[in-house]
Structure 1
Amino acid sequence: MLGRHLQRIKAAPGVMILTQTMPITMLLFFGYVFGSALAMPGQEYRAFLVPGLLAATAANGIMVGMFQASQDCHRGVMDRLRTLPMSRAAVPFGQTAADLLTTAIGMIPLILVGLAVGWRIEGGPLAALGAFGLLLLLRFATSWLGCWLGLLIRNEEIAGQLGSATFILPLLSSAYIPTDNLPGWLRTVAEWNPISAMASATRELFGNASPAADAAWPVAHPVAGTLAWSVVLLAVFVPLSVRRHARGGE
């Protein structure tokens, strides 16, 4: 199943190209168009933005997982795979594992462009590896959420429309802007967004910024917060996705 999904991406690379180049486009757009207008005390905005874009890329597993699973359901592929003598977990595991592998490769261009525009990894190598590990863990977790949604929707057109709506999730986080000056209720929503914990964790591990002590718990303790969010998402949506695949359209 892993090989099938890798061949699928190779045969139709449009979704992967779009999802991997969008963060680079946003880095150049936000970094140069809005960067001069955003005052970051003691910090250059592009150095703040790159870890946030990496966190947004990790959360983008929702859109990709939802579209791929719903496409297979809509075209009858899931029904054919369900008749084969194999574990019911093989199909969703193959999809999420392939997404994890392609994401790990796809992050390289964003990192290189980030280095070219002035971002630097200022922490130690072990901390940097920990940051990349957290990014891939959250991506794996969100791809399971997307897989379950796709199996639930079973229509690729609806999934495509809902997938584009997930673009708002990073906007309601600290991926692109600090949450300090947001209104009280909106700051609470943003700080309990898993993307905020991931963005703060990457900034801390890359040595770009320290977490805010007065923030909500997931942002004040971003590494633990990201681990907690990832474990919760996996514990909930792995069994739900496997069960949904086994039941089909029932």
Structure 2
Amino acid sequence: MSTLTTGTAITERPAIRRTSLWQQAWIMVKRNMIHTKRMPEMLSDVTVQPVMFVLLFAYVFGASIQTGDVSYKEYLLPGIFAQTIVFTAFIVATGITADLEKGIIDRFRSLPIRRSSVLIGRSVASVLHSSIGIVVMAVTGLAIGWRIRGTIPEAVLAFALLILFGFAMIWFGILIGSWLRSVEAVNGFMFATLFPITFLSNAFVPTAPMPGWLQTIAEWNPMSALVQAMRVLWGNGPEFGDDAALPLQYPVTATLLWILALTLVFGPFALRAYYRRTAD
């Protein structure tokens, strides 16, 4: 422990205790969750918005959407789950950009911590943030008639795929948050990209009535594979035969491949953009 002499007073400096990367990351997770606790309105995007989508589609649009023998409410819920986890990228991007704008990242750089701990902490906190929305939607779905009709291992696998897909999308959020210079720019860009991705899929409507070229795009959308995997594992929708696109025939495998592909594509670019933005 060192000492600092100021006039006649002697102030002792606390010793710097070495911490591991995971300890540093956990401190960042707690820092982000404390923000959420102090500003609960930050949860509106994973509480109010998903519930609003569930009620609007289930009771306003649901009557005009044909899903065969499957209840539209059960058809809908996996799509809402997927939409919420995809927007994890939005949360990460705005959080990183806000910290960069306010100079908080520069303050972190003055501390004896690794730069990667900030990213890990932000990513884990964002997944926890979205997980609150998943719980809220599950309760809402149960209240309106949605049920999990598969086995317990299948149900657990579906939720695991959902969380893993959220982690894969985080790399996209880190890339955009490090690339754009303001929260307003991030908001505009993410709305312009994530909303078409979620709606141009099988999340809310079947792809069969779509024009041929649009149906192909929707069925090869990574989100469609995730949604179909959850429907199959939860027993909420029909399985597809040999005439369907490969991601819909083997949705669990396709989802795992998409998770790996998104991570390999966006991960290196995201890290490079973040390190360049925070370089000396």
TM-score interval for Structure 1 and Structure 2 normalised by the shorter chain = over 0.9
Look up the match of 2:261.
232
CA shift at 1:119, angstroms? 1.0
Unmatched runs of 5 consecutive residues or more in structure 2 = 1-27
Superposition pairs of residues 163-242 of structure 1, within 5 angstroms: 163-165=190-192, 166-213=194-241, 214-242=243-271
- 1 CA distance for matches of 2:121 and 2:229? 28
Structure with more relative contact order (C-alpha pairs < 8 Å, separation 6 or more): 1
Q: What is the TM-score normalised by the length of structure 1? A: 0.94
- Higher mean alpha-carbon deviation, 158-167 vs 11-20, is at 11-20
Letter in 2 for 1:60: F
Letter in 2 for 1:199: V
Letter in 1 for 2:271: V
Q: 2:112 aligns with which of 56, 75, 85?
A: 85
- 2 CA distance for matches of 1:81 and 1:145? 22
Task: Note if 1:15 corresponds to 2:81.
Answer: no
- 2 CA distance for matches of 1:222 and 1:56? 17
Letter in 2 for 1:83: S
Letter in 1 for 2:247: P
Q: 1:32 aligns with which of 59, 70, 79?
A: 59
Q: What is the TM-score normalised by the length of structure 2? A: 0.84
How many pairs were matched up? Answer: 250
Letter in 1 for 2:142: L
Q: Which structure has the greater CA radius of gyration?
A: 2
- Higher mean alpha-carbon deviation, 126-135 vs 222-231, is at 222-231
Task: Note if 1:104 corresponds to 2:131.
Answer: yes
State, as a whole percentage, how many aligned pairs show the same letter: 36
Unmatched runs of 5 consecutive residues or more in structure 1 = none
CA shift at 1:102, angstroms? 2.3
Task: Note if 1:247 corresponds to 2:276.
Answer: yes
Task: Note if 1:50 corresponds to 2:77.
Answer: yes
* Equivalent pair of 1:69/1:150 in contact (CA under 8 Å): yes
